[in-house]
């Protein structure tokens, strides 16, 4: 399934900074990697491998959330920034979404497609 809001994101190299859950919503705060297909893409800054922007990956209209695995592990980079790892896999089968990374694995049923809200910051 093509999800327009996720076009131009490279989730496998994006960093999950936080996860927020409410009964009908699951959000991943990201230090997201933007590809040249994203409207806010810019050339990487000196010392950067990618173009990064902060934003939130949002799953709304959730009817079921099933955590298969959760991990308390955190990574700390040389600058002291903490992250939960990456989103290694995002798959969909009908209304069922499966998201997996170092932070855990979750399966959810949703009545809508995920969206990415760029919060305007760059790492």
Q: Is the pLDDT of residue 1 over 70?
A: no
Q: Is the pLDDT of residue 100 over 90?
A: yes
pLDDT in tens, 8-38: 999 999 999 999 999 899 999 999 999 999 8
DSSP strand E in the chain: where?
Answer: 15-22, 25-34, 51-60, 62-70, 75-76, 82-83, 87-93, 96-101, 104-110, 115-118
Q: How far apart are CA 62 and CA 47, in angstroms?
A: 39
Mean pLDDT, rounded, for 103-117: 93
How many angstroms separate the Cα of 99 from the Cα of each of 22, 48, 74, 86, 94? 16, 26, 18, 10, 14
pLDDT in tens, 37-64: 988 888 888 888 899 889 999 999 999 9
Mean pLDDT of all residues belonging to the chain: 89
CB count within 10 Å of CB 109 equals 15
For tokens 């979750």, name the residue: 106
């Amino acid at each position: 399934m093509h999800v327009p809001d996720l076009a131009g994101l490279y989730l496998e190299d994006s960093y999950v900074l936080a996860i927020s859950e409410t009964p009908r919503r699951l959000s991943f705060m990201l230090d997201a990697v933007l590809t040249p297909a994203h409207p806010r893409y810019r050339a990487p800054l000196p010392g950067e491998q990618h173009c990064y922007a902060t934003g939130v990956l949002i799953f709304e209209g959730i009817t079921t959330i099933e955590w298969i695995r959760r991990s308390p592990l955190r990574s700390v980079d040389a600058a002291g920034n903490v992250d939960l790892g990456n989103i290694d896999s995002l798959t969909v089968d009908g209304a069922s979404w499966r998201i997996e990374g170092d932070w855990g694995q979750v399966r959810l049923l949703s009545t809508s497609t995920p969206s990415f809200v760029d919060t305007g910051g760059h790492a």
